[in-house]
Structure 1
Amino acid sequence: MKLKQLEGYIGNLNQFSNPKIDLEQYPTGAHIASRLLYTAENTFGDISGKVVADFGCGCGTLGIAGALLGAEHVVGIDIDSQSLEIASLNAADLELDINLIWCDIKNLKWRVFNIVCTLSQALGPKFTSSKIVDTVVMNPPFGTRKKGSDMDFLFMALKVASQAVYSLHKTTTRDHVRRAALRDFNAKSAEVLCELRFDVSQLYKYHKKKEVDIAVDLWRFVP
């Protein structure tokens, strides 16, 4: 699938009807989402034929992009049940089979057994270890409302993924993210693939501008 075609598909997905500020819910734009997944597949081969998990999946944008690029199985995990309902409808509209799990990422360790069972039924007995996921893709909270929430996501992603983690983080936190990944979370490598502009629309009452561009880094981490 070509990049423009992928961007067109995910650009038509339904997004948050009532975003929650405490969860820092912002839709991942089609431009950024398509490039994240396209790079993961075409540069590194981390999507097609792989088990891909979308952490904090929201309305399913990244996970659906992974499924469109040939992921063998996609798991979307989010704490917000309303977002998961939208993700389910989005997947159904594109006739994609995605497993959606209602769970707080910080408590994911308590759900590992259930995930193992689900994937074992779907993919066979080879997926029976704690590292059942090849690749994690995510647009985590930036930690603006709740300090450290971005690192909670990264910590768990590096525990779960066996091959790679792709994540978006504010460019202003670059040094902190690299230091945490390599020193605290024992990542083998942490590389900024590119710097992108994240378009934040006027979603919440405290937003004074119709749209703001935030500089974000697209990272690839190797567990």
Structure 2
Amino acid sequence: MKLKQLEGILGSIQQFSNPKLDLEQYPTGPHIASRLLYTAENTFGDVNGKVVADFGCGCGTLGIASALLGAENVIGIDVDLQALEIASQNAENLEVDLDLIYCNVKNLSLRGYLIDTVVMNPPFGTRNKGSDMEFLSVAIKVASQSVYSLHKTSTREHIKRVALRDFHAKSAEVLCEVCKHKNWAVRFDVPQLYQFHKKKTVDLAVDLWRFVP
């Protein structure tokens, strides 16, 4: 599947109608989602034929993109039942299979599952400090091959230090520079979803990371 085709399909996915601020629910836009998964597959071969877990899957964008790129099995995990219902409907509409689990990621136990790749757009820790690192810690423990994750650029040095020193990742690499020649900037488009948002949309600089457990 070509990149533009993948982005177009992801653009049809239903997103949150009533996002929850305490969960830092922001939709992963089709532009960045398609490029995250396209890079994971076409540069590193981490999707096709693999078991992929989407942590904090929300409405299922990253998980569905994984399925469309040939993942053998996709597991979506979220603590919000409403989000899982939307993800289930999106998967049904696009005729892809997602195994959905209602669970807080930090309490996750996947005994018996062999997870090759974790993809995620975790909470950035703005409302609940440290939630981004909780997601990353579990992802690095669970994945056997790789973890792809989005984090604020302002936290880059902290993310790398903790991933290598405390979570014992074999490597931690920011991929955003790798992708600049493809004419896409890793900017996270934050729409006006909550009352405290004063602008209709804000671009937030984020890093696309690849961690090797």
TM-score, normalised relative to structure 1: 0.91
Which ranges of 4 or more aligned residues in structure 1 deviate by more than 6 Å? none
Deviation sequence 1:32-55 (CA, Å, 0-9, x none): 000000000000000000000000
Give 1:191's match in structure 2, choosing from 147, 158, 173: 173
Deviation sequence 1:53-72 (CA, Å, 0-9, x none): 00000000000000000000
Does residue 35 (structure 1) correspond to residue 24 (structure 2)? The answer is no
Work out the CA distance in 1 between the residues paired with 2:39 and 2:69: 11
Structure with higher helix content = 1
Does residue 158 (structure 1) correspond to residue 148 (structure 2)? The answer is no
* Alignment partner, residue 51 of structure 2: 51
Unaligned runs of 5+ in 1: 117-126
Does residue 79 (structure 1) correspond to residue 79 (structure 2)? The answer is yes
Cα shift at 1:185: 0.1
Q: CA-atom RMSD, angstroms? A: 0.8
* Alignment partner, residue 3 of structure 1: 3
Cα shift at 1:97: 1.0
* Alignment partner, residue 124 of structure 1: none
* Alignment partner, residue 95 of structure 1: 95
Does residue 174 (structure 1) correspond to residue 153 (structure 2)? The answer is no
Does residue 209 (structure 1) correspond to residue 199 (structure 2)? The answer is yes
Unaligned runs of 5+ in 2: 177-184
Work out the CA distance in 1 between the residues paired with 2:187 and 2:148: 16
* Alignment partner, residue 122 of structure 1: none
Deviation sequence 1:165-195 (CA, Å, 0-9, x none): 0000000000000001000000000000006
**SS across alignment from 2:209:** strand
Work out the CA distance in 1 between the residues paired with 2:196 and 2:169: 37
Cα shift at 1:81: 0.3
**SS across alignment from 1:35:** helix
Give 1:218's match in structure 2, choosing from 197, 204, 208: 208
Cα shift at 1:140: 0.1
